[in-house]
Amino acid sequence: KQVKKVFSGIQPTGNLHLGNYFGAVKRWIDLQNSNYDVTYCIVDLHSITLPQKPLELKENILRICATLLACGIDPQKSTLFLQSSVREHSELCWILSCNTTMARLTHLPQYKEKSEKMKEIPLGLYLYPVLQAADIMLHKANLVPVGEDQIQHIQLAQSLTKNFNHRFGPTFPTCEPMISEDLSSRIKSLRDPTKKMSKSDPDPKSCVMLTDSPDQITSKIKKAVTDFTSAVTFDPQNRQGVANLLTIHSLASNKSIEQICDESQRLDTGQYKFKVAEAIIEHFNPIRLKIDDYLKNPDYLWSILDIGNEKAQEVAEKTMNEIILLFLF
Ligand code: ADP
Ligand code: NA
């Protein structure tokens, strides 16, 4: 039986927070270390659907590359590459866009949400999900680890696959989204635990970033919103703030939430916060130091991407050559 191909992308938009780590990057690493053929793409072409400053984008590409390596992406086991270096992504996007209707794209929730407050909507923002389908199909991925908010985009890729295979013969495998069933990896904002932790949150104290120093982590956790009950109990319905801290603590320490509650019986939430901060620092400080080290050596980072780019290029050319033949036929 053939090993399944996993494909996923991440935008090069600054530093990652704990939510990105536990909800995405950690899973990528688990998949890399299991029996899958994995390809991970830094999707800079997706980033430019909104205005970017070229130097900042370049810096952010290096930053995300350094972060992924520091978190445990191993270029020997994973193909890690930069989307814009493989031109076939744009080429397949064009072909697929000719097989998509405007109506199909208008109703996708992410587009609606992002374009809502815009006067002039870039066409690329509208085409974004088609480029995403092209990413997946170009690499003939079977499995696509994504967040729940991406399900409708994966469904677009599925229907484009179906249409293409129907018109031109079996060419692309049907892809399946891999949604984390473990709801506990949904990390909430530290300042408003009814919302998810997100880098677009204007309050910088709502997120712990992977690059935060131990002092910054302690200060953010100390200011995390909890409630007026002082015992440390896990009650995600009524005590979202404390439940979120317990979730983060458990994920960072590999201890069960039950065990942590047991160990914290004699602490009030104020004292407990120091335990949470300690666990986060212990898990993420080595990663932060590694990110710093990698960033001191941009040539090394580009060389890692070059290796991935070459591997991805080979796959992309093979797929495009197949498709072109189908057209000529
Ligand atoms: P953000 O909301 O910070 O902009 P993105 O939407 O760019 O994050 O998401 C990047 C990846 O991180 C996605 O796979 C997404 O599912 C995951 N992710 C983002 N925020 C969280 C969170 N709070 N908890 C778990 N996973 C998250
Ligand atoms: Na693997």
Q: What is the pLDDT of residues 258-270, one digit of tens each?
A: 999 999 999 999 9
Whether 105 contacts 126, CB under 8 Å: yes
Let me know whether 85 and 195 are in one domain: no
Whether 275 contacts 264, CB under 8 Å: yes
- Banded model confidence at residue 182, pLDDT cuts 50, 70, 90: confident
Q: What is the pLDDT of residues 272-286, one digit of tens each?
A: 999 999 999 999 999
User: Region 95-122: what's the mean pLDDT?
Assistant: 92
What is the pLDDT, as a whole number, of residue 1?
Answer: 72
What is the pLDDT, as a whole number, of residue 183?
Answer: 63
Ligand 2 center from residue 257 Cα (angstroms): 29
- Annotated active-site positions, please? 114, 196, 199
What is the pLDDT, as a whole number, of residue 180?
Answer: 82
Q: Is 322 exposed, middle or buried (0-12, 13-18, 19+ CB in 10 A)?
A: middle
Whether 136 contacts 144, CB under 8 Å: yes
15 phi-psi bin (left φ>0, alpha ψ -120 to 50, beta other): beta
Let me know whether 113 and 245 are in one domain: no
CB of 20 closer than 6 angstroms to any ligand 1 atom: yes
CB of 283 closer than 6 angstroms to any ligand 1 atom: no
Of 135, 130, 125, 139, nearest in space to 163 by CA? 130
Task: Give the residue whose CA is nearest to atom 20 of ligand 1.
Answer: 19
Let me know whether 200 and 244 are in one domain: yes
Let me know whether 174 and 153 are in one domain: yes
What is the pLDDT, as a whole number, of residue 328?
Answer: 64
Q: Which atom of ligand 1 is nearest to the CA of 189?
A: 23
Q: What is the pLDDT of residues 288-317, one digit of tens each?
A: 999 999 999 999 999 999 999 999 999 999
Chain-centroid distance of CA 86 in Å reads 20
Of 73, 70, 75, nearest in space to 211 by CA? 70
For residue 16, give the ligand nearest its CA: 1
Q: What is the pLDDT of residues 85-100, one digit of tens each?
A: 999 999 999 999 999 9
Whether 58 contacts 103, CB under 8 Å: no
CB of 147 closer than 6 angstroms to any ligand 1 atom: yes
CATH number of the domain encompassing residue 285: 1.10.240.10
Let me know whether 138 and 239 are in one domain: no
Chain-centroid distance of CA 172 in Å reads 24
Q: Could you tell me the residue range of the domain that residue 227 belongs to?
A: 188-292
User: Region 36-55: what's the mean pLDDT?
Assistant: 97
What is the pLDDT, as a whole number, of residue 107?
Answer: 87
Chain-centroid distance of CA 193 in Å reads 21
Ligand 1 center from residue 262 Cα (angstroms): 30
User: Region 128-143: what's the mean pLDDT?
Assistant: 98
Task: Give the residue whose CA is nearest to atom 11 of ligand 1.
Answer: 20
Let me know whether 169 and 237 are in one domain: no
Let me know whether 180 and 192 are in one domain: no
Q: Is the pLDDT of residue 33 over 60?
A: yes
Let me know whether 253 and 311 are in one domain: no
Q: Give the C-alpha separation, 138 to 153, whole Å.
A: 15
Mean pLDDT is lowest, of 4-18, 27-41, 110-124, 231-245, for 110-124
DSSP string over 151-198: HHHHHHHHHHHHHHHHHH-S-SPPPEEE----GGG-PBPSS-TTSB--
Q: What is the pLDDT of residues 187-210, one digit of tens each?
A: 999 999 999 999 989 999 999 999
Ligand 2 center from residue 36 Cα (angstroms): 4
What lies within 8 Å, CB to CB, of 288 at 6+ separation is 70, 210, 211, 212, 213
- What's the number of domains the chain is made of? 2
Let me know whether 19 and 102 are in one domain: yes
Let me know whether 58 and 148 are in one domain: yes
ipTM metric: 0.94
Q: Is the pLDDT of residue 329 over 60?
A: no
User: Region 116-140: what's the mean pLDDT?
Assistant: 96
What is the pLDDT, as a whole number, of residue 184?
Answer: 65
Q: Is the pLDDT of residue 185 over 60?
A: yes
Both tokens assigned to 70: 């520091």
In the beta sheet, which residues pair with residue 178?
145
Ligand 1 center from residue 266 Cα (angstroms): 34
Let me know whether 136 and 252 are in one domain: no
Let me know whether 157 and 223 are in one domain: no
CATH number of the domain encompassing residue 38: 3.40.50.620
Ordered alpha helix ranges (H), the chain: 18-20, 26-32, 44-47, 54-71, 88-97, 102-106, 109-115, 123-138, 151-168, 214-222, 240-253, 257-263, 269-295, 298-328
CB of 124 closer than 6 angstroms to any ligand 1 atom: no
Pocket test for ligand 1, best of 7, 15, 16, 20 (most atoms within 8 A of CB): 20
